[in-house]
Amino acid sequence: MKHLPGDTIAAISTALGPGAVALVRLSGDRALQIADSVFRGRRPLADCLTHTVHYGRIVDGEGREVDEVLATVMLAPHTYTTEHMIEFGCHAGPVPARRVLAVCLEAGARHARRGEFTERAYLGGRLDLVQAEAVADIVAAETPRGLEMALGQLEGGLSGLITEVRSTLLSMRSETEAAIDFPEDVDARAALEAIGPLSQTARDQVEVLLENCAVGAAVRDGVSIALVGKPNVGKSSLMNALLMRDRSIVTSSPGTTRDAIEECLHIDGVPMRLVDTAGWRETADEAERAGVERARAAARGAVLSVLVVDSSAPPDGEDAVIAAALDRRATIVVANKVDLGRGAEAQDFAELFCGEDSGNEPAVPAVMWVSSLTGEGLRELRSILAEASLGPSHSAEALVSNLRHAGALRRVKACLYRVDTLLDEGAPFELVGAELADATAALGEITGETTPEDVLQHIFERFCVGK
């Protein structure tokens, strides 16, 4: 995978299309030499100071002018790739940038593969793999919150936490190795006493990272929120009010919505996928029954459920049946139609989720009084939805949004549980050592120390050419 010295790459680094400036980038040992063979300015770029900008023209092999450019000189090692880099700022539009790139290629540069500039930053040791992947996420970020998360990872927040886990593993390994290598000097019981608590620490650290996985994925892809409830309580009206457009059909007859209707929405930079569902009820109508089945499935699949009830009447057995199918820790109760009055206390709705005996159990869902018709209470509901989607305690930089990272962390966790069992059973330290070696390797795959070649290829293929 290591690139050959002298292999200098070039690519257009800006999107092709109307705009003011397009960038053609060169990186590698011969970047200056190749640039000087096509650039005509007051002096050769090789004679210029690093991180300076110079006006000039690009000419082709026959001396014909190709474009007027600003050349930026950046000398190794303080560059994006850690190699010598030149960037030509050309006139935008597809033709000038392509022609400038073409003359650079004729002069000896090789066209860069997708993500090859970032790959060189990784190979040059400037970014670890988590940070390189964060670069791809920054480019792909669709919300301010997603961008914040990717920037946090680029600055090394996640890598820092992983380093902590690694150092705990390292301490465990050195204790284990000592017990293996010097059985006469190391008391087995003392070794066990040292390794046990470390193992607990490592498990806790991995657990925290894994908890953040789900939130990270939510920040990137949006949490799914199912709107469920009896027919006619105003689920579709609420969906439309939150979306601020007429997406779902609303009528005064119960059983209007038959299918699950999904729409994306951003609140405070948090992406969400709202699902309006059919009202739950026993029915002989085949299509409606299928709709109710989909509603149940939507509630099971959603990260969060919003149980919509009619605020103007006390909750009844039908509401209770629906509540029983929901996870109360992941449910918000919306008492809709508050413009018609409050037919019950908040407590009565919250108690849909508590049996007689469990009245003082924690995690009773919040009850929000809302009117989809007048808009009352919608602002509060929006902020509750955003907050509940993220959980308040998650710092953006340490969110694990990457499936690859989550998979590796789960392998580390499995190894640590096996270590515990081995310690309990008084198994030979060699077996413990082997598990710890596996855990360290799995962890190293996240930051790139032990990532297999094909995985690396796959990661950099996510980038565009020129990044």
30 vs 337 by CB, closer to ligand GTP: 337
Contact of 261 with 247, CB cutoff 8 Å? yes
Dist CA 430 CA 444 (whole Å)? 21
Listing from the earlier edge strand, what are the strands of the sheet with 85-91?
39-41, 52-59, 65-74, 85-91, 21-27, 9-12, 110-111
Distance of closest approach, residue 285 Cβ to ligand GTP, in angstroms: 12
* 406-to-210, 395, 399 alpha-carbon distances in Å: 6, 17, 10
Cα dihedral sign, 63-67-71-76: negative
Distance of closest approach, residue 232 Cβ to ligand GTP, in angstroms: 5
* DSSP letter (8 states) at residue 341: -
Distance of closest approach, residue 256 Cβ to Mg ion, in angstroms: 5
Environment class of 136 (CB within 10 Å of its CB; exposed 0-12, middle 13-18, buried 19+): buried
Dist CA 331 CA 323 (whole Å)? 9
Our finding on whether 336 is near Mg ion (CB under 5 A) is no
Residues in the interface with Mg ion (CB under 5 A) total 4
Q: Which residue is nearest to ligand GTP (CB)?
A: 279
Q: Which does 467 bind (CB under 5 to 8 A by kind): Mg ion, ligand GTP, none?
A: none
Find all residues with CB under 8 Å of 215, minimum gap 6, and list them.
390, 391, 394, 399
Q: Which does 305 bind (CB under 5 to 8 A by kind): ligand GTP, Mg ion, none?
A: none
Backbone angles phi, psi at 314, to 5 degrees: -65, 150
152 vs 255 by CB, closer to ligand GTP: 255
23 vs 228 by CB, closer to ligand GTP: 228
* 367-to-14, 309, 327, 380 alpha-carbon distances in Å: 49, 10, 15, 11
Q: Residue 307 forms beta bridges with which residues?
A: 228, 333
Q: Which does 331 bind (CB under 5 to 8 A by kind): Mg ion, ligand GTP, none?
A: none
Q: Which does 234 bind (CB under 5 to 8 A by kind): ligand GTP, Mg ion, none?
A: ligand GTP
Name which of 332, 338, 372, 371 is nearest 352 in CA terms: 332
Q: Which does 265 bind (CB under 5 to 8 A by kind): Mg ion, ligand GTP, none?
A: none
35 vs 334 by CB, closer to ligand GTP: 334
Residue 341, token pair as written in the block: 């009055």
The residue type of 241 is A
Distance of closest approach, residue 294 Cβ to Mg ion, in angstroms: 13
238 vs 456 by CB, closer to ligand GTP: 238
Binding site for ligand GTP (CB under 6 A): 231-237, 250-252, 254-257, 278-279, 336-337, 339-340, 371-373
Question: Which residues 222-261 are close enough to bind Mg ion by CB under 5 A?
Answer: 235-236, 256-257
Distance of closest approach, residue 230 Cβ to Mg ion, in angstroms: 11
Q: Which does 324 bind (CB under 5 to 8 A by kind): ligand GTP, Mg ion, none?
A: none
Distance of closest approach, residue 369 Cβ to ligand GTP, in angstroms: 10
27 vs 232 by CB, closer to ligand GTP: 232
Q: Which does 167 bind (CB under 5 to 8 A by kind): Mg ion, ligand GTP, none?
A: none
236 vs 447 by CB, closer to ligand GTP: 236
Distance of closest approach, residue 236 Cβ to ligand GTP, in angstroms: 3
The DSSP bridge pattern shows strands 85-91 and 223-229 to be unpaired
Farthest-apart Cα atoms in the chain, separation:
90
Dist CA 434 CA 415 (whole Å)? 9
Distance of closest approach, residue 233 Cβ to ligand GTP, in angstroms: 5
Dist CA 154 CA 447 (whole Å)? 12
251 vs 383 by CB, closer to ligand GTP: 251
DSSP class per residue in 47-109: GSPTTEEEEEEEE-TTS-EEEEEEEEEE-TTSSSSSS-EEEEEEESSHHHHHHHHHHHHHTT-
312 vs 457 by CB, closer to ligand GTP: 312
Q: Which does 254 bind (CB under 5 to 8 A by kind): ligand GTP, Mg ion, none?
A: ligand GTP
The residue type of 404 is R
52 vs 374 by CB, closer to ligand GTP: 374
Distance of closest approach, residue 284 Cβ to ligand GTP, in angstroms: 16
31 vs 335 by CB, closer to Mg ion: 335
Distance of closest approach, residue 248 Cβ to ligand GTP, in angstroms: 7
Which residues form the interface with Mg ion (CB under 5 A)? 235-236, 256-257
